[in-house]
Structure 1
């Protein structure tokens, strides 16, 4: 006879499948309270399934994949970016360079170069359609594959892209488990990423390609741990060629190469070679798209995120309010330039003054370096959080997991027509995140009085980012 635990397990699994089905096929972005109910239900189920089945690795793998396949035939309901993905892929299929033209131009001229051009343009929205694409080459390759397999049906393209994302998550499972084992960490912690409702909904459900980027990044870190730094450089370049975010991590590898060698000169040579491999590989990926206007168009598109867009920000919103107080208008043009500089300074401190000569220390620095960037950015879309979640899996810090629970509050803005953020709701989100971060960094691993002075120091040194 089955035990009560097995009945509970099956019941929770079925309940979770129903919630994901409702999320995928009936939820509208403007229905914030329905979203709230589903989100809390999914995270409650996630907590139970993860905590009660840590030793049942196969079961967690099966349900992680199963939950993703619930979304297979659904149309993303929390993001419209996928329309631009399909547009870019079909443009490539028709022989156009997606970096050189605006969807808006074709629509205004009533020149429709691809199937369902008007429908795709209306779906992506005028704001997206009036900017040059900022998706790097391997991301474009994913879009092209979707167009190659089905360039006449939006649903068909969605299914292809979703399968690519699911395959990438399976790759993360494979190499993430290997890296956890090499670092002598519990392999089950990979499910803090794989089973997380945020990851399933935002990435598989809403077709954001962070899993492809993270697959190459985790694989690259695993190869670097194996001292196969040439292949690691190529893989990290692939990661950057999906999303640019891993560029921020490059300075952090400095000490790993310098301290691992018998001489500084030998370490520098390997470091320079490592960087050259990365940038040459990226250049080769961009080469088929190269033209005299590519750099200009691409830099304009990326620059918009620092000078024009603002959403779900943290420290930036505080700085903006101070700017309003003293200047009377939005200072995004100034503050948007200052924030990246602060990130560069912080990354410099982390790269050169913190000990980064082991893989655990490198990943810890990556986690806090990227966290600083996200805390100061003008735009923090929910799906950006995926990178922090996977990095946290290889550390003892769990604030990104808590953030993945409360970041759904940012969708409250879409309950208003036209959309408008409620700063009290944003404040609630970040109060929880910062509160838990402070707890983890300063309180959770506070040494007890039973430890001797030397042992106390060693415990602090091993346990936290600020203590290295």
Structure 2
């Protein structure tokens, strides 16, 4: 009775949340826009109220996060088709094929079915996905293989295995995220802005996107780096890259993190404390440690790619990655403005040219950030990573909802709230499917403008207005 008295509201919220997640996972298709927005908004209200009424009970929130994910265990993803390609790739490897050298359509067109349920998998992934070479790095492919090993003839069974891997990664992120927050003297409860967020639960656990596994290795690596265990941090960072390539963007930002220090092995765990307290901007880069760090990352990444390596693989993989900058476009912001300017002057879509320019601008921006501060702490590094990835997303030609997961986890270690707000309004990007069955399949730019208008407004508040008010 005492427990019910103190936890009556959180428990009621939990039961309502479980019901709403069940509706979302088993009673919704992505073209049911009213239900989609209604369920998502209701889940966000539950999320906010849970953090309000149970914010200090870490154990209780952890159990709830697990229960909400458990609802999806028997569900087929209803907002994304990518998992069909995941299953295809895993089964291809088990059949002895290099998935980087073949497209699904090359088999289907010749009535050759190399894996179990080939027709169903190809129909599920769609012609667009099936006509391109895979772009998923080797450790991601290992996850697909594990799904094939445990369930080689059932799509639902494979989805369940993939889901368990992603859920395990989320709780790894919870473990190392809490430890890093504690060492940085940031409230540990902040991690639940990520772990309990409906966006994360739906996009990662529900829709089977492996950003969650990449984030687990990234947070683990940052924790090890902060603790002075930079060699192991480099290995784990390479594992993160080998799930998704996004962490490559952060490598230049680590340049000024490696300062010369006289610390011995016993004092390595105090390195970050000394770095924060020491304002001596004359300290030099420890190039030996820096080169070793980058070398370990490079070597580990190459070893993971080695089983698939060939000249044909390099050509296929680089071409496929380039598609995200020079061919595909979805839910973009600044790029859409540049595209309209291109139409105005040339009369056609200049995505190939704009994509190349965007790539160069992003690299230059990250390099400028890398040399902006002469002295850097872990908190500063995390903030810099946040803005580097934000800039990348703002300029990208394609911003799928699950891309925001990386931005959201970085924001947990900062005071910036625009990624959290974006993780709510990103649901409006799914309204692009309104025109899916119409002759005009273009996105509604008013909806895109609404989404980014809110995001940019909160960004301006975070960066300019909020800081000015605090200063005053």
Residue 336 of structure 2 is matched in structure 1 by 317
* Residues 1:305 and 2:339 aligned together: no
Q: Quote how far apart the aligned CAs of 1:449 are.
A: 7.3
Q: Is the 8 A contact 2:253 2:384 kept in 1?
A: yes
Residue 118 of structure 1 is matched in structure 2 by 119
In structure 2, how many angstroms separate the alpha carbons of the residues matched to 1:227 and 1:258? 12
- Within 5 Å, which residues of 2 pair with 1:235-250? 235-250=236-251
Choose from 431, 446, 458 the match for 1:412.
Answer: 431
Residue 87 of structure 1 is matched in structure 2 by 88
Residue 258 of structure 2 is matched in structure 1 by 257
* Residues 1:286 and 2:305 aligned together: yes
Q: Is the 8 A contact 1:309 1:378 kept in 2?
A: yes
Paired positions, count:
450
- Within 5 Å, which residues of 2 pair with 1:24-423? 24-258=25-259, 267-355=286-374, 357-418=376-437, 419-423=441-445
Q: Is the 8 A contact 2:91 2:148 kept in 1?
A: yes
Relative to 1, partners in 2 of residues 1:107 and 1:261: Cα closer, same or farther, differing over 3 Å? farther
Q: Quote how far apart the aligned CAs of 1:444 are.
A: 1.1
Note the aligned Cα RMSD (angstroms): 1.5
Q: Is the 8 A contact 1:16 1:45 kept in 2?
A: yes
* Residues 1:434 and 2:435 aligned together: no
Deviates more, 1:255-264 or 1:413-422: 255-264
In structure 2, how many angstroms separate the alpha carbons of the residues matched to 1:317 and 1:310? 9
* Residues 1:22 and 2:23 aligned together: yes
TM-score by length of 2: 0.93
Q: Is the 8 A contact 2:256 2:285 kept in 1?
A: no
Where has structure 1 moved over 3 Å in runs of 4 or more? 1-5, 258-266, 447-450
In structure 2, how many angstroms separate the alpha carbons of the residues matched to 1:87 and 1:148? 12
Q: Is the 8 A contact 1:252 1:356 kept in 2?
A: no
TM-score by length of 1: 0.94
Deviates more, 1:246-255 or 1:323-332: 323-332
Q: Deviations over 1:353-378 (max 9, x none)?
A: 13552100000000000000000000
Q: Deviations over 1:242-271 (max 9, x none)?
A: 000000000000111136579977601111
Relative to 1, partners in 2 of residues 1:290 and 1:421: Cα closer, same or farther, differing over 3 Å? same
Q: Is the 8 A contact 2:33 2:431 kept in 1?
A: yes
In structure 2, how many angstroms separate the alpha carbons of the residues matched to 1:234 and 1:373? 25
Choose from 432, 446, 454 the match for 2:468.
Answer: 446
Any unmatched runs of 5+ in structure 2? 264-281
Q: Is the 8 A contact 1:307 1:337 kept in 2?
A: yes
Any unmatched runs of 5+ in structure 1? 451-468
In structure 1, how many angstroms separate the alpha carbons of the residues matched to 2:54 and 2:345? 55
Deviates more, 1:236-245 or 1:12-21: 12-21
In structure 1, how many angstroms separate the alpha carbons of the residues matched to 2:471 and 2:429? 42
Residue 7 of structure 2 is matched in structure 1 by 6
Q: Is the 8 A contact 1:356 1:365 kept in 2?
A: no
Relative to 1, partners in 2 of residues 1:155 and 1:179: Cα closer, same or farther, differing over 3 Å? same
In structure 1, how many angstroms separate the alpha carbons of the residues matched to 2:373 and 2:36? 41
SS of 1:110's equivalent in the other structure is coil
Q: Quote how far apart the aligned CAs of 1:6 are.
A: 2.8
In structure 1, how many angstroms separate the alpha carbons of the residues matched to 2:463 and 2:109? 54
In structure 2, how many angstroms separate the alpha carbons of the residues matched to 1:107 and 1:355? 56
Deviates more, 1:260-269 or 1:125-134: 260-269
In structure 1, how many angstroms separate the alpha carbons of the residues matched to 2:260 and 2:331? 39
Relative to 1, partners in 2 of residues 1:196 and 1:63: Cα closer, same or farther, differing over 3 Å? same
Relative to 1, partners in 2 of residues 1:64 and 1:111: Cα closer, same or farther, differing over 3 Å? same
Q: Quote how far apart the aligned CAs of 1:292 are.
A: 2.2
Q: Quote how far apart the aligned CAs of 1:46 are.
A: 0.4
SS of 2:352's equivalent in the other structure is helix
